[in-house]
Amino acid sequence: MKKSTKKLLVAMGMTTVLVTALTLGKSTTADENKVYIPDRALRQDVVRQIEEPVENELPTTRQIEQVVSVYGGNNGSLEGVQYATNAESINTSGGYGIIDFRPISGMKNLKEYYSYSSIIQGDPLKVLDISPFGKLINLEKLSFGYANIQDFSMLSDLPNLKSVTAFGGYPVKLPTVYVDKATKKFIMEHPVKYSKQFDGEKVVSGVSGAVLKGNAVEIENLEEDVSAINLLFEASSNDEGERFSNSYSNFYATFSCEIPIVWY
């Protein structure tokens, strides 16, 4: 084979490799999953932190990994932030409660979550399901304002959790309790399940004579003209180490509820 022919074949081969590499590079970039974040405030906050151009406010999953904190939440959705796997904090203080926390369940580096108001717009009595937080092993602090939460038990095994505050919202209407006219004794199961960190005092108030006995709420000699009662439940922790608040225990939660009464 002539030298000129060999050189031509080599050149053609190198060109083919180069074109293929460029094509694959473009394909990889084009095929990167772009993420639509429906909440405008969250979307703008995410885009602001990305140190490269973001087309049409549609960051790629790779770009979102640059985000170290998340702030916003004006429409009740966290969809899209699950790709911010390096974020250590979320602040959703836009005034609209988050409906679904499932998007954060894979954010293994998350340390803090704060919400000034957790009231769900259009459904202020909705009880929040915070179970996705139970999967975040690096979580240190949780703070919910105006939040209806009845189950904290999934937080028991989080090794780094230092503080949880959850202040109840509007009274949640619970199932009817039937009271015997002969005994006038009201009794119901405690409506809240706490994690093991709430190892301090637990109290109930709102009606004279209401007491906690184990996991039951009891009221003796309830007045027969009562058709419903409102109760406030509080739970706290016994803090032996550092306290993160001057006003409350490191773990402190309230829950307000209304219970209809039917006499028989």
* pLDDT tens, position by position, 147-158: 999 999 999 999
pTM score, whole prediction: 0.82
Q: Answer yes or no: do 227 and 211 share one domain.
A: yes
Is the model's pLDDT at 23 over the cut of 50?
Answer: no
pLDDT score recorded for residue 124: 82
* pLDDT tens, position by position, 104-151: 998 999 999 999 888 877 788 889 999 999 999 999 999 999 999 999
Residue where a domain stops, chosen among 170, 191, 220:
170
Is the model's pLDDT at 15 over the cut of 90?
Answer: no
The phi-psi region of residue 18 (left if phi > 0; otherwise alpha if psi is between -120 and 50; otherwise beta) is alpha
Q: Answer yes or no: do 105 and 200 share one domain.
A: no
The number of folded domains in the chain is 2
| Domain boundaries, position 151 | 12-170
More confident of the two residues 246 and 149? 149
Residue where a domain stops, chosen among 170, 195, 216:
170
Residue where a domain stops, chosen among 145, 170, 195:
170
CATH number at residue 218: 2.60.40.10
pLDDT score recorded for residue 243: 60
3, part of any domain: no
More confident of the two residues 185 and 245? 185
Q: Answer yes or no: do 138 and 160 share one domain.
A: yes
pLDDT score recorded for residue 90: 94
Please name which of 243, 232, 240, 164 lies closest in space to residue 196, comparing C-alpha atoms: 164
5, part of any domain: no
Q: Which two tokens stand for residue 20?
A: 């293929």
4, part of any domain: no
Q: Answer yes or no: do 32 and 160 share one domain.
A: yes
Q: Answer yes or no: do 156 and 198 share one domain.
A: no
Q: Answer yes or no: do 80 and 166 share one domain.
A: yes
